[in-house]
Every structure is written in C-alpha cells, then in structure tokens.
Amino acid sequence: MSFVVAAPEFVTSAASDLASIGTTISQANAAASAPTTGLLAAGADEVSAAVAALFGAHAQAYQALGGQASQFHQQFVQLMNAGAGAYATAESANANPLQAVVQDLVGVINAPTEGLMGRALIGDGADGAAGTGANGSDGGILIGNGGNGGSGAPGKNGGNGGSAGLLFGTGGLGGSGGADVGGGPGNGGIGGNGGQVIGFGGYGGVGGASGGGGTGGAGGPGGGAGGFLFGVGGHGGTGGTGTNGGIGGPGGTAVDLFNLVGTGATGGDGGNGSNSGGNGGPGGHTPTIWQLLLTPEVANGHLFGSGGDGGAGGVGGNYGGAGGWGGEGGIVFGVGGNGGNGGAGISSFGGNGGFGGFGGYLSGIGGNGGNGGPGMPPGFGGLPGLGSFNFSFGAIGKPGSRG
C-alpha cells in the first residue's frame, strides 16, 4: 500500500512559485503583443501586405491562447491554495482534540503535587517577568525545564534561572542585569541547575551596562548540571559594557552522582570597555565526592571528564581584558579546558591569554593556553595546562601565541 503525504506549507509554497511563473509569462506576452500584432508591411505591394496580415493574425491568435492559458493558470493556483487551506484545516481539526486530551491528562497528573507541594510533576517552569529581576520557577518535579530569570530593573541584578526536573531538563537562563542609572549596574543572574539524570545547566545572564566612568556588571555564573548518567554545566554570562568592561561569569559545573563522566562549561566573555575590557570567566570544573578524600585543589573532576574553556577577554580602548583560565578535567583521565583569548587593546595593551586547565589528577591532556590579544604591545599567550596535576603522566597542551 502506498501513502501520500501532503504538507500544507509545501503546497502553499508551490502555489506561490507557480503564481510568480504565471506573472512572468503574462508580462512577456504583454511586451510581445504590440510588436507582433501591429506588424507593418515591408512594402506597398500586395504580397508584403498579405505576409504582414498573416503574421499579425498568428500573433492575435497567440495572444488569445495566452490569455486563456493565463486564466487557467490563475484558476490552478487558486485551487492549490484552497487545497492547502483544506489540508491545514483538517490537520488543525485532528490535532486540537488530541492536544486537549493531553493537556487534560497532564492537569490530572499535576493536580496532587501542585496542591501538596506547589509544584507540578511534569511541565516547564514559568519565566520571571521582565524588568523585575524575579527568579524563574522550577520545572516539574520529574520532567521539565526551569523557567528563565527575569531581567533586572535599572541597576538591579537579573533573576536566577529555575532548576530543571529530577529526571530530565535544562536549567533556566539567568536574567540580564539592569543598566546603571547612577548606583552601578546589576549583575547577570545565575543559570538554573539541570536535571538529575540527564541535564544541562542554564546559561548565566549578561551583566548590565554601566554609565559614564563605571564598570559593567558581572556576567552570571552558568548553572550546574546534575545527572546519574550525563551532565553539562551552563555557559557563564557575558560581562556588561562600560568604561571598564565587566568580568565574564564562570562556566557551570557538571556534577553527577555516579561520578563517571562530566563536562564543564565555557566561561563567559568579558565585557567591552572604552578604557579596559573585562576579564573572561574561568571554564567550569567537574567536582565530585572525591573532594572529601582529596584536597580541593586537585579534586576538580569526575573519574572522566573535561574542563570548560575560559571566556575571551573583552575589547578595551586602552587595555584588553585577560582570557579566562581553562577548567580542570577528570580524576582518572581528563582533558583540560583551553584558556580564553585575550581581548584587543585598541590604542594600547592587548590582554593576555588565559592558562590552559590541567588534564586530570592521574593522567590526561592539558588544555591549550589562550592567545594574547592584539595591541601595542600585544598580549602574551597563556601557559599550557599540564597533562596531570601530580606530574605523573599526561600530555601538556600547547602554549598560546602572542597577539
């Protein structure tokens, strides 16, 4: 048995193309009408007059046929558009009852937990209102994405993103910080935590812009991500602009209960400034319960994991911002994050590149150092990360180049 699939949007697009073709042909016929139907005789003799009359008659017959073809073409296009509308109406009629059933079912499922705990079992969290700095609501207890934080009022911090559900979900975005109105700008909100089985942390909010002579707000930290199986932290927020750019937010941390594989997120870029650019945020690490047994300085990873890259330094009129440091990798084996590139100094010093992160505690591959930013003089490249924290085994990353 064969099946035919009719997509209304494709039928409508084809009808539009046919209408364009018909318009082009009609314009060509109209342009050819006068030169062909009004053909003059080559001479005053009867033969020339007969030849001109013959060609003129052919031209008139062609124009008549062309008019009929144009009318048929328009009717065909109208039928195609009507058919597309009929298909769309049928799809809507079939989908709406099913959507209503699903919504009713979800409402029945969520009713007990909403009544007892004030939180749905399944569903996305509500976003914070813009201009209020309100936090985003958490997603459903089991499944759901966190709501985004609301942007901050002038000079106030952005709201934090809501956390995702227990099983799956992405944390909400941090809200943008409010612009400076005399008392300093607001910082970006923190990204929400991801789901506990498989999750992705929300991005940190952008720092607020500063007024004259001030420093832009700091970018919000990226949200952490938990997960029995897999997790990725959220990117750090970009620093706000100002006379001096704000610093980028640190990349989110990936944490899972089994401590198997984790990925740190990229740090936020530093904000641009008319005097100096902000420094990039550090890449995210992946801390675990091993920190209870090892010193915090060396326990920055899962058994296997990679650190996040450092954020790039902001562009500055006189001083470029420094790149953020790369995050550390796993304990047994890991890959260090690359250092962020330094920001450009428009009229003076370029920013230095960030250091590459350590590969891991036992073994790994170190992150590359960030490149220095262009300037007069240019910034220095960042040092590479070592393959392992205890110098036992691993490959060293590449140093960054000078801007």
Beta-sheet pairing, 198-200 with 168-170: parallel
Which has the minimum average pLDDT: 32-36, 205-209, 336-340?
A: 32-36
Residue 257's CB: how many other CB atoms inside 10 A?
14
**pLDDT (0 to 100) of residue 103:** 75
**pLDDT (0 to 100) of residue 162:** 94
**pLDDT (0 to 100) of residue 274:** 92
Question: Is the model's pLDDT at 166 over the cut of 60?
Answer: yes
Q: What share of the chain is helix, strand, coil (3-state, %, to 5)?
A: 25, 10, 65
Considering the chain, what is the average pLDDT of its residues? 82
Instruction: In whole angstroms, give the CA distance from residue 241 to residue 327.
Output: 25
Question: Is the model's pLDDT at 34 over the cut of 50?
Answer: yes
**pLDDT (0 to 100) of residue 114:** 78
Catalytic residue positions, numbered:
309
Average pLDDT, stretch 51-70? 75
Average pLDDT, stretch 55-82? 75
Question: Is the model's pLDDT at 229 over the cut of 70?
Answer: no
- Tell which wins on pLDDT, 279 or 286: 279
**357-389: pLDDT as tens digits:** 988 777 889 999 999 999 999 999 999 998 887
**pLDDT (0 to 100) of residue 344:** 95
Sorted by where each starts, the structural domains of the chain and their CATH numbers stand as 8-115 (1.10.287.850), 163-168+185-403 (no CATH)
| Exposure string over 346-377, b if 16+ CB within 10 A, otherwise e | beebbbbbbbbbbbbbbbbbbbbbbbbbbbee
DSSP string, 347-389: SSBPPPPPPPPP--SSSEEPPPPPPPPPSSSPPPPPPPPPS-T
Question: Is the model's pLDDT at 53 over the cut of 50?
Answer: yes
Instruction: In whole angstroms, give the CA distance from residue 205 to residue 224.
Output: 14
Distance of CA 318 to CAs 68, 217, 230, 274, 363, Å?
Answer: 72, 19, 43, 7, 41
**pLDDT (0 to 100) of residue 313:** 96
- Tell which wins on pLDDT, 231 or 124: 124
CB 328 within 8 A of CB 367: no
Give the pLDDT band of residue 288 (cuts 50, 70, 90): very low
DSSP bridge pairs for 242:
273
**pLDDT (0 to 100) of residue 58:** 76
- Alpha-carbon Rg for the chain in angstroms: 32
**pLDDT (0 to 100) of residue 332:** 76
DSSP string, 43-68: SSSHHHHHHHHHHHHHHHHHHHHHHH
Nearest of 155, 159, 154 to residue 128 by alpha carbon: 159
Rounded to 10°, the helix 46-117/8-37 angle is 160
**303-324: pLDDT as tens digits:** 677 889 999 999 999 999 999 9
Give the pLDDT band of residue 206 (cuts 50, 70, 90): very high
- Judged by DSSP in three states, 230 sits in strand
**118-158: pLDDT as tens digits:** 888 888 999 999 999 999 999 988 889 999 999 999 999 99
Tokens of 353: 């590149």
